[in-house]
Amino acid sequence: MALKYIEEYRDGTLARAIIKKIQAVSKKKLRLMEVCGTHTMSIFRHGIRSVLPEGISLLSGPGCPVCVTAQKDIDAFVAFSRLDNVIVTTFGDLIKVPGSSSSLGKEKAGGADVRIVYSVFDAVNIARENKEKEVVFCGVGFETTIPTIAAGILMGIQEKLDNFSIYSANKLTPPALAALMETDGVKIDGFILPGHVSVITGTNAYRDTFENYNIPSVISGFEPIDILNAILLLIQQNEVGKPALENAYPRAVSDQGNEKAKLIMNQVFEVCNATWRGIGDIPLSGMSPKKEYEKFDAAIKFGMDMPDMPEPKGCACGQILMGLKTPEQCGLYKKKCTPMTPVGPCMVSSEGSCAAFYRYA
Ligand code: SF4
């Protein structure tokens, strides 16, 4: 479907036509996972759940970077903020995520120098202006964000900044999809793949997962027509029994992705193992600075290695991120856990499933 203007991707007449097709072809009960938190929010904002046939369930996946950040990494961010002479720079969502004993927000309220930034380049600027202090950037993101973090490190080198480093809790999407498919109890009939990650990775990044698991997979943009179209394609694939990897976001995503962004990412970072909230350790699913860039690796620079800690008691974020539970099935939802008093990151993040349910469901 090739439309020209953004309004066309929000067109009510077109949306109704796709919904009609969905209702006509949908026979089976299906569990479709929107991998990305931005999709979760868009689905709620546009009321997409309410127009789908009863047999179609949408599950939120592990594509909200704040939500999948392991408790030990949140604890590391808090630990940095407690060090003398350190400025911690972070995206806003992270500040309220509770670690085992505190959050960046609480530490800031207690006097720690924690600053919200909009990109890694803001953190570089802070380092340039505060050469007598160490500036640590909390690196939390997927393939969309990692190239810019790499560019931040290259900028640090160019400017000969010795006081700038990043703690990398960055993650890669395809290994998480494979890990989900290997997890007992997880039942997914199709993936709505993240548009913005795919802009960088390209369609080819998902070929191994698709071929290994033969799971219907459609890359989607974020407008309602994009998402409805992706859902229709996934239902059609399931109904005719012909799984495929389809790119339904060709206006932004190519087979190869953004080669320049990938080049910068792979120049500075190398693939490493990573711990995901709820899912646990996934081999080769993270990215940490290569040896030649290790002076920018805050974990090495400060010897920061926090022990793994369990999720907050009663919080089901981990199961929600795997599609095993919905927020409403968490005993704390809307009781102890609200956006004002979040217990887990899925209620904090603007892309979190619990926050989306709370706001729109
Ligand atoms: S409602 Fe709160 S406690 Fe429950 S899963 Fe969501 S974030 Fe965790």
Q: What is the pLDDT of residue 3?
A: 74
pLDDT in tens, 40-69: 999 999 999 999 999 999 999 999 999 999
Q: What confidence score (pLDDT) does residue 361 get? A: 81
Answer whether residue 142 is part of any domain. Answer: yes
Please determine, for residue 20, whether its predicted confidence score (pLDDT) is greater than 70.
Answer: yes
User: What is the total count of domains within the chain?
Assistant: 1
pLDDT one-digit tens code per residue, 76-99: 999 999 999 999 999 999 999 999
Would the pLDDT of 8 be above 90? no
> Which ligand 1 atom is at minimum distance from the Cα of 330?
4
Instruction: Answer whether residue 48 is part of any domain.
Output: no
Binned at pLDDT 50, 70 and 90, residue 349 comes out as confident
Which CATH number belongs to the domain containing residue 267 in this structure? 3.40.50.11740
pLDDT at 2: 66
The answer as to whether 243 is a domain residue is no
For the cut 90, the answer to whether the pLDDT of residue 293 exceeds it is: yes
Residue 110 predicted with pLDDT over 90: yes
In this prediction, residues 243-254 reach a mean pLDDT of 97
The ligand 1 atom at the shortest distance from the C-alpha of residue 333 is 1
HEC string of 184-203?
CCCCCCEEEEEHHHHHHHCH
Mutate to test the pocket of ligand 1, among 64, 74, 315 (most ligand atoms within 8 A of CB): 315
Q: Is the CB of 322 inside a 6 Å radius of any atom of ligand 1?
A: no
Ligand 1 center to 193 CA (angstroms)? 24
Mean pLDDT of 324-339: 96
How many Cβ atoms are within 10 Å of 178's Cβ, its own excluded? 18
pLDDT tens per residue, range 149-205? 999 999 999 999 999 999 999 999 999 999 999 999 999 999 999 999 999 999 999
What string of H, E and C letters represents the secondary structure of the chain? CCCCCHHHHHCHHHHHHHHHHHHHHCCCCEEEEEEEHHHHHHHHHCCCHHHCCCCEEEEEEEECHHHHECHHHHHHHHHHHCCCCEEEEECHHHHHCCCCCCCHHHHHHCCCCEEECCCHHHHHHHHHHCCCCEEEEEECCCCCCHHHHHHHHHHHHHCCCCCEEEEECCECHHHHHHHHHHCCCCCCCEEEEEHHHHHHHCHHHHHHHHHHHCCCEEEECCCHHHHHHHHHHHHHHHHHCCCCEEECCCCCCCCCCCHHHHHHHHHHEEEEEEEECCCEEEEEEEEEECHHHHHHEHHHHCCCCCCCCCCCCCCCHHHHHCCCCCHHHCCCECCCECCCCCCCHHHHCCCCHHHHHHHHC
> For residue 282, is it within any domain?
yes
Mean of the per-residue pLDDT values of the chain: 96
280 within a domain of the structure (yes/no)? yes
Q: Tell me phi and psi for residue 66, to 5 degrees.
A: -70, -40
The answer to whether residue 220 scores a pLDDT higher than 80 is yes
The pLDDT score that the predictor gives to residue 6 is 79
| Cα(103) to centroid(ligand 1), Å | 16
Q: Give me ligand 1 centre to Cα 329, in Å.
A: 9
The answer to whether the CB of 346 is under 6 A from ligand 1 is: yes
* Res 250: pLDDT: 96
Q: 307 falls in which pLDDT band (50, 70, 90)?
A: very high
Look at residue 224 and tell me whether its pLDDT is greater than 80: yes
Q: In 10 A of CB 259, how many CB atoms?
A: 11
pLDDT per position as a tens digit, 309-321: 888 999 999 999 9
Residue 53 lies in a domain: no
With a 6 A CB cut-off, is 344 part of the ligand 1 pocket?
Answer: yes
Residue owning the nearest CA to atom 1 of ligand 1: 333
Q: From CA 314, how far away is CA 332, in angstroms rounded?
A: 7
In a domain, 297, yes or no: yes
- The domain of 138 spans 67-172+259-301
> The whole model's pTM is what?
0.94
Predicted confidence band of residue 7 (pLDDT cuts 50, 70, 90)? confident
Cβ of 98 closer than 6 Å to ligand 1, yes or no, is no
Model confidence at 33, in pLDDT bands (50, 70, 90)? very high
Domain assignment of residue 333, yes or no: no
